[in-house]
Amino acid sequence: MRLDRHALRRAASGATVALLALAVGCAPQPEEKASGSTSATGAGSCAKGALATRTSGRLTIATDQPAYEPWFKDDEPAGGKGFESAVAYAVAERLGYGKDAVVWQSVPFNKAYAPGEKTFDFDINQVSISAERRRAVDFSSGYYDVRQAVIALKGSRAAEAKSIADLKDVTLGAQVGSTSLDYITDVVKPKRQPAAFAKNDQAKSALKNGQVDAVVTDLPTAFYITAAEVTDAKIVGQFEHQGGTPEQFGLVLDKGSALTPCVSSAVDALRKDGTLARLEQQWLSDAVDAPVLT
Amino acid sequence: MTFTEREPAGSPDAGGTADGAAGDDTYVPSERRIARERHRRGRARRATAVAALSTLVTGVVLYLIVVHAPGWPRTRETFFDAGYAREALPKVLDGLWLNLRLLLVCGIAVLVLGMLIAVARTLRGPVFFPLRVLATAYTDFFRGLPLIITLMIVVLGVPALRLQGVTVDPVLLGGTALTLTYSAYVAEVFRAGIESVHPSQRAAARSLGLTHRQALRHVVLPQAVRRQVPPLLNDLVSLQKDTGLVSIGGAVDAVRAADIIAGRSLNYTPYIVAGLAFVALTIPMTRFTDWVTARMDRRRAQGGNL
């Protein structure tokens, strides 16, 4: 009886140890593998079509879902229509990946910067480059200079604002995780706590419902919202760049990705040969004259 | 309800050693009893030591597994950055204040509404048929409808109706949506409790001359509610976490406050801070209810546990 119990217990503790050992054995995942093999390829070689991508021979590009206009037309990243879709394909082309070698993937914004192995080669999702964000991910060179804009319902008090000071008393809203929200807290410094929405869609309906007086987004999005989605809203104005380097959207890559220099030089080349300007003209031409709020 | 009070439940060993004829002399435990108690204490100490050791070993092993994982330095930087934790804490606490107020107000509303619905569902008599049907439909509908959709409809949909005199405040609307959903859950908990009280209790109450309502009020509900405390607490904790979903309308609660910092810095530490804040709220709540339950059980168990 007694012996039995001892034996049982010994067996149990043996099993526990075995389980733990198993856990130890299983736990480490070879994250090094990716960076190791890519560093062997050398950062300097950006041989066309032969980059150390996730799937060799293919370029995996990620963006959030739904993908909004005017960045992606009809929520269809693979369509090649819309500014970011066009830029993504132009970058891919530069890197030596034709249209059929590009694979799209849907990755939510707040998952794109999770540590550990990435499932995409780069992410294009209107992500503004900042020094702070560089601590978590790699950015390519900027492919678009961003300006932030305020939209409000026509005839409302917020719509009459002529300066930033006029916006201090209104309830402002923006999408969380966006630099738009930073513009509200850092530039406008409103008296009321700004509303932070998970998606621009919710910000739009809050604007329609009068739950917020005005919404801040980047200028092209603001144009699209006022032209197509909330037609009784208007652009109140845009903000000037706040000192230093202008705000730019960049492609997001894994921290320390071997692809970063190649992708960056591809973007630089596109800027140099006027492709970016042409695509901007084609897809974002509306976003030109909105009064500047000072 | 209680049994007649005999001696307090005495030492657990009393039955074994009490040699009935001890008379009025002071009680002297027998040699055998002393030895047995010593043995038991020894066993208890040994058990505690083994448990402590095994916990320690498990903890160390888990720690080593995590720390020696090849991705640990980046994980630590992304999830456990002291700088971001310090930055996030005051903002998260500000947001948590909103969660707490919502919990308090919605919690009370949910308990009241849930109880009313449960009672409505258990009413007998043909007169109450429409009330029963309504209450049943209510629980079926709101328990089935995903909370996030209820919130969308109430927070974003109701203001779209442009009704005069109806608030557009996302917090008030969000609180309403939470109350709708949670009172449906809680009503079911109450109903299960009411129906778990043995029919003989009701019959006894009625035979004493209590009306149906008095029987419910004085006999059935007190017993039902006592049994409901743990599941009700469960729902309350769940409600506490779900209060954050009012952020769908733009309100900044603890989690959304963390979102804001995480979105700017691309660092997840603020989420850990917010998560710990919620856990810190839940634990005292659980201990408090455990204490209340234990006290009620003691009172009920007077006369000894069998």
**Per-residue model confidence as pLDDT tens digits over B259-269:** 889 888 888 99
Per mean pLDDT, which range of A13-17, A256-260, B190-194, B265-269 is the poorest? A13-17
The chain A residue lying nearest B169, using CA atoms, is A211
Residues of B in Cβ contact (< 8 Å) with A64: none
Q: For position A32, what pLDDT does the model report?
A: 42
A and B: number of Cβ contacts within 8 A: 113
Residues of B in Cβ contact (< 8 Å) with A193: 252
Residues of A in Cβ contact (< 8 Å) with B68: 27-28
Contact across the interface for B156 and A182, Cβ inside 8 Å: no
Q: For position B160, what pLDDT does the model report?
A: 83
Q: For position A241, what pLDDT does the model report?
A: 76
- The C-alpha R_g of chain B, in whole angstroms, comes to 27
Residue with tokens 């964000």: A133
pLDDT per residue as tens, chain B (306 positions): 444 444 444 444 444 444 445 456 788 889 999 999 999 999 999 999 999 999 999 999 999 998 888 888 888 888 898 889 999 999 999 999 999 999 999 999 999 999 999 999 988 889 999 999 999 999 999 999 999 999 999 998 888 888 888 888 889 999 999 999 999 999 999 999 999 999 999 999 999 999 988 998 899 988 888 888 888 888 988 999 899 898 988 899 999 999 889 888 888 999 999 999 999 988 888 888 888 878 877 777 665 554
**pLDDT, mean of residues A37-47:** 54
CATH of domain B87-297: 1.10.3720.10
HEC profile for chain B?
Answer: CCCCCCCCCCCCCHHHHCCCCCCCCCCCCCHHHHHHHHHHHHHHHHHHHHHHHHHHHHHHHHHHHHHCCCCHHHHHHHHCCHHHHHHHHHHHHHHHHHHHHHHHHHHHHHHHHHHHHHHHHHCCCHHHHHHHHHHHHHHHHHHHCCHHHHHHHHHHHCHHHCCCCCCCCHHHHHHHHHHHHHHHHHHHHHHHHHHHCCHHHHHHHHHCCCCHHHHHHHHHHHHHHHHHHHHHHHHHHHHHHHHHHHHHHCCCCHHHHHHHHHHHHCCCHHHHHHHHHHHHHHHHHHHHHHHHHHHHHHHHCCCCCC
Mean pLDDT (chain A) is 83
Q: Would an 8 Å CB–CB cutoff place A35 in contact with chain B?
A: no
Residues in A 254-283 with any Cβ partner in B closer than 8 A: 255
Q: For position B41, what pLDDT does the model report?
A: 94
Contact across the interface for B266 and A20, Cβ inside 8 Å: no
Residue A195: name the closest of B43, B257, B173, B269 by CA: B257
Q: For position B132, what pLDDT does the model report?
A: 93
**pLDDT, mean of residues A281-286:** 80
Q: Would an 8 Å CB–CB cutoff place A114 in contact with chain B?
A: yes
Which CATH superfamily hosts domain A12-146+246-293? Periplasmic binding protein-like II (3.40.190.10)
Asked whether the CA dihedral B238, B241, B245, B251 is positive or negative, the reply is positive
Domain ranges of chain B: 12-64, 87-297
Query: What ipTM describes this predicted complex?
Result: 0.72
Residues of B in Cβ contact (< 8 Å) with A202: 156, 248-250
Domain ranges in chain A with CATH number 3.40.190.10: 12-146+246-293, 148-239
Contact across the interface for B71 and A113, Cβ inside 8 Å: no
Length of chain B: 306
Q: How far is B85 from chain A (nearest CA, A)?
A: 15
Residues of A in Cβ contact (< 8 Å) with B259: 110, 176-177, 196, 198
Q: Measured between alpha carbons, how far is residue B200 from residues A223, A279, B41, B196, B277 in Å?
A: 71, 80, 44, 11, 46
Q: Which fold has domain A148-239?
A: D-Maltodextrin-Binding Protein; domain 2 (3.40.190)
Q: Would an 8 Å CB–CB cutoff place A193 in contact with chain B?
A: yes
Q: Would an 8 Å CB–CB cutoff place A202 in contact with chain B?
A: yes
* pLDDT tens digits, B46-59: 999 999 999 999 99
